[in-house]
Homo-oligomer: A and B are copies of this chain.
Amino acid sequence: MRDVCVVGLGLIGGSVLRAAVAAGRTAWGATASAEDAGLAGADGFDVVDLAEALGRARESDALVVLAVPLPAVEEVLRRLPPDVRLTDVVSVKGPVADLVRRSAPSARYVGGHPMAGSADSGWAAGEAGLFAGAAWVVTAEDDADLEVLGDVLRLALDAGAHVVPTTAAEHDAAVARVSHLPHLLAAVLASVGADGGPLALALAAGSFGDGTRVAGTRPELVRAMCEGNRVALLAAVDDALGRLGAARGSLASTGGLAKTIDAGHAARAALVERQRAELTEVTVDLGSPRALEALRALGSRGGRVVGFDGTTVRAQTA
């Protein structure tokens, strides 16, 4: 099993390090946070300074996992050894790929994004099982290094996740709709409710509680996530504004909301249906000439990679 070097030991990076060690790998980490470093060291993990961590990665040809916030990515990229095996766990993929092209062009980079988290942050909030059952996006661009792609697949599968292969652009557009827009709408709804004063909050029940829950997430995390995906989020917000504006117009003119409510109900039913759907097993030979294309098509259909033996990818599709 390939060695793993995790840079950044917050909730996600700390959980990746734990999961790698739990899977029997040689793994170590570095972090700019003295608090996270101290806690991780006290928990028995191998934490060294960044230069030492990257030096070891060069010697053992380890997979480096970038787990720092987007604004800190570039500084780490500049310090990477040449030709390093590189992935990341940042919640937006296009901007990270751009930074890698600019600041670490020799890196053998395949982007990643485990879709797991919690309202808490820092090493103390992490756990080896954080990714169990979660989706872990892996970018399978045309120029992807197949060896490193395999490394990332194995790391994600070792952590108990299933892998969703796609491109950076498709990932960013999708998470804008199903993760960043929900956070923005939750913030808007919470504010509109609070504007109603104590009476409104006293009458708030399930729908308001559900609709505002993620507004409780630490604002700096939400901002970093949403602002980092600006272009794709703008498109999703415009879609939402268009639909909400159409509902407003219909309510004002005819008094009816059938189109909006019925479409939303059908969409929610599709989500629930998807989660219950029977899946078909398929395989992709990672050595075949159209392997990357096949993996991306799998992701576009909502499929997932559930196994990899070093040659053959085992996947499920609806």
Is B202 a contact of A177 with CB atoms below 8 Å?
Answer: no
Q: Which residue of B lies closest to A165 (CB)?
A: B199
Whole-angstrom distance between the alpha carbons of A32 and B183 in the complex? 43
- A263 close to B (CB within 8 Å): yes
- Per-position 1/0 for A266-279, Cβ under 8 A of B: 11111110100000
Is B115 a contact of A164 with CB atoms below 8 Å?
Answer: no
- A300 close to B (CB within 8 Å): yes
A160 to chain B, nearest CB (A): 15
Q: Which residue of B lies closest to A175 (CB)?
A: B203
Query: Which residues, 267 to 311 on A, are CB-close (under 8 Å) to B?
Result: 267-272, 274, 299-304
Known pairs A187-B260, A192-B236, A234-B251; A299 contacts B182 (CB<8 A): no
Query: Which residues, 186 to 202 on A, are CB-close (under 8 Å) to B?
Result: 186-202
A129 to chain B, nearest CB (A): 16
Whole-angstrom distance between the alpha carbons of A230 and B270 in the complex? 28
Whole-angstrom distance between the alpha carbons of A218 and B193 in the complex? 23
- Per-position 1/0 for A162-192, Cβ under 8 A of B: 0010100011011101110111111111111
Is B201 a contact of A270 with CB atoms below 8 Å?
Answer: yes
Q: Which residue of B lies closest to A239 (CB)?
A: B192
A164 to chain B, nearest CB (A): 6
- A44 close to B (CB within 8 Å): no
Whole-angstrom distance between the alpha carbons of A264 and B186 in the complex? 7
Query: Of A54-62, A102-110, A146-154, A221-229, which stretch is located at the interface?
Result: A221-229
- A82 close to B (CB within 8 Å): no
Which residues of chain B are within 8 angstroms of A207 by Cβ–Cβ distance?
178-179, 182-183, 186, 213-214
A201 to chain B, nearest CB (A): 5
Q: Which residue of B lies closest to A198 (CB)?
A: B302
Q: Which residue of B lies closest to A118 (CB)?
A: B206
Known pairs A207-B214, A255-B230; A265 contacts B194 (CB<8 A): no
How many A residues touch B, CB cutoff 8 Å?
A: 99
Is A241 a contact of B239 with CB atoms below 8 Å?
Answer: no
Known pairs A191-B243, A201-B274, A237-B251; A196 contacts B178 (CB<8 A): yes
Is A263 a contact of B210 with CB atoms below 8 Å?
Answer: no
A193 to chain B, nearest CB (A): 5
Is A115 a contact of B260 with CB atoms below 8 Å?
Answer: no
User: Taking beta carbons and an 8 Å cutoff, which residues of A are in contact with B?
Assistant: 115-116, 134-135, 137, 164, 166, 170-171, 173-175, 177-179, 181-219, 222-223, 226-227, 230, 233-234, 236-241, 243-245, 247-248, 251-252, 255-258, 260-272, 274, 299-304, 318
9 sampled A-B residue pairs with Cβ under 8 A: A134-B205, A135-B203, A170-B199, A174-B200, A179-B207, A184-B257, A186-B210, A187-B263, A198-B318
